[in-house]
Structure 1
């Protein structure tokens, strides 16, 4: 930084003169001393300097953001750092997916109990071609709820075995 301006947060903390080409100056301004202090505490100034020097200039700001984030996570959780936060959030997502799947299954059961039963008779054409399930669906009056069932069965990665279609017809 030189030229009479205040030294960057790194040089201020390390009590050295901030050179014009200081690698820390663009990323650790003097008005945010905590940012460098925490990165220095976790990684060390020498390691951070080496990391920044090995990167192209256009990637350094993102690298500093990542170092600050990881350093903060390491201070909160010295053992797991960011991995602990990620693991916690993944567990929350799994629990919420399970709750969503259970709620969708409950809604489906309620809707199926409230709707009149689907027709059980089929034409000989439909019996000859059992793979043509769409022809039976097109003749049904209850098409409004069936796409919801298909969406539920295909979107839920929590429930392994969706209910069999045959159980809907009998």
Structure 2
């Protein structure tokens, strides 16, 4: 089925000969570039340039140049039918204008990007200088504290917290020890008082008898 269709296309005249109503010869210059299934392509080229002019142009070119020439003629003919005044020149001018606009936009974008990059570098340099200044001040203050406290050469906030906790525990232990001592002393005094109280009572009972005169 495919071979019969291809043979029918091969035996049928090209679009140019069919349009011109002539017999398509084996050496037809239009046949390789205007197949039978593209009749509108040759119709546009013939309407704009003329079949005789196209034949003369193709005969003056080398065979490997004819395909590009036919494609260019077909594109020019299509654009000329759409825009009889400018043709493809109008499309080329529009594309060139868009290209210039894109180049201007690209140049402006590069300029703005360079400004932001320079601004970012300056800001980073200023931030680094500020951090360096603050670190230098902190080191100076830390050196002064260490020189004023020779017993704390490895001063650190965590060490300070541990030292405060130890002091709190020492105070609590001292408080508990003092309370225990007071309780022991109080218990001792109470025991002594209770031990001496019966003796006092017994001494009160031994009274000197009163003899009548």
Following TM superposition, by how much is the alpha carbon of 1:70 offset from its aligned partner in structure 2, in angstroms? Answer: 1.2
1:45-82 residue CA offsets vs partner (Å, 9 max, x unmatched): 11111111111222111111111111112112212222
| Cα distance in structure 2, aligned partners of 1:55 and 1:114 | 61
Partner of 2:69: 63
Root mean square deviation, CA, Å: 2.0
TM-score by length of 1: 0.63
1:126-161 residue CA offsets vs partner (Å, 9 max, x unmatched): xxxxxxxxxxxxxxxxxxxxxxxxxxxxxxxxxxxx
Partner of 1:100: 106
TM-score by length of 2: 0.51
1:91-131 residue CA offsets vs partner (Å, 9 max, x unmatched): 101111111111111111122122128x9xxxxxxxxxxxx
Whose relative contact order is higher, 1 or 2, with alpha carbons under 8 Å and at least 6 apart?
1
Partner of 1:46: 52
Following TM superposition, by how much is the alpha carbon of 1:37 offset from its aligned partner in structure 2, in angstroms? Answer: 0.9
Equivalent residue of 1:115, what SS?
helix
1:12-34 residue CA offsets vs partner (Å, 9 max, x unmatched): 11111112221111111101111
Partner of 1:161: none
Larger Rg: 2
Structure in which a larger fraction of residues adopt helix: 2
- Return structure 1 stretches of 4+ with deviation > 4 angstroms: none
Equivalent residue of 2:34, what SS?
coil
Q: How many residues align?
A: 116
Unaligned runs of 5+ in 2: 1-9, 126-213
Unaligned runs of 5+ in 1: 120-170
